[in-house]
Amino acid sequence: MIAIVDYGMGNVRSAQKAFAHLGYEAIITSDPKEVEKADKIVLPGDGAFGASVENLEKLGLKTLVLEAARGGKPFLGICVGMQILFSVGEEMGYYEGLGLFKGRVVRFFPKEDYRPEWDGLKVPHMGWNVVRQKSDCPLWKGVPDEAMVYFVHSYYPLPEEGSAVASTTDHGIEFCSSIWRDNIMATQFHPEKSGAAGLRMLTNFGAL
């Protein structure tokens, strides 16, 4: 069974519908007992970094999510669910993340680092863009390199561990668009909204 963790941050139904379409049992839950007994964990998220970590804590889910990830269960973070796996987020302040990966989550195009090539590029980065695969992440099985996927985000991670970068994407800069280490995979984009390529990624996760 796949547990899609509902901690009050974003639309979790689309992920559940995608797994159901693929034939996988997936429940949406904020019940710690359900999360603990699940075979696989999906941590989605839309919204602010700090509020996401705070909500996990309030619902008694933060420790369970960390234990699941560290304990070897297949684990998939999506969008903000990827960002909060890092050490620190800089969205509307400075907030500690879950610390599963070393690095910061920062905003696109800070004014103090202005570059002419950023003119005309929008924040949030929204819509379809290319992912270039950088590793043998299990999500990529059967997915062509430079597949198009769907993004909605204003912040992106700066991993300290280059080996954790599973893909990159360009939006004014080349940024890390997914990560992978052992059982933990996470995407800045939304696989559940990314057509055939995204469904293939979810199939690969469900089959682990």
DSSP 137: -
Give alpha helix (H) positions in 60-189. Answer: 62-70, 80-83
Question: Does residue 79 carry a catalytic annotation?
Answer: yes
CA–CA separation, 45 and 84 (whole Å):
9
Q: Kindly state the helix (H) or strand (E) to which residue 153 belongs, with its residue range.
A: strand 147-153
Amino acid at 100: L
Angle at CA of residue 14, ends 103 and 88, nearest 5°: 15
Catalytic residue flag (residue 176): no
Q: Which of 79, 125, 153, 176 is catalytic?
A: 79
Buried b (16+ CB within 10 A) or exposed e, 11-43: ebeebbebbeeeebebebbbeeeebeebebbbb
Q: How far apart are CA 170 and CA 158, in angstroms?
A: 14
CB 133, CB 166: distance < 8 Å: yes
CB 14 within 8 A of CB 6: no
Q: Per the residue annotation, which of 125, 153, 171, 192 is the catalytic one?
A: 192
Q: Is 192 a catalytic residue?
A: yes
Residue from 125, 153, 171, 190 carrying the catalytic annotation = 190
Q: Which residues form the catalytic set?
A: 79, 190, 192
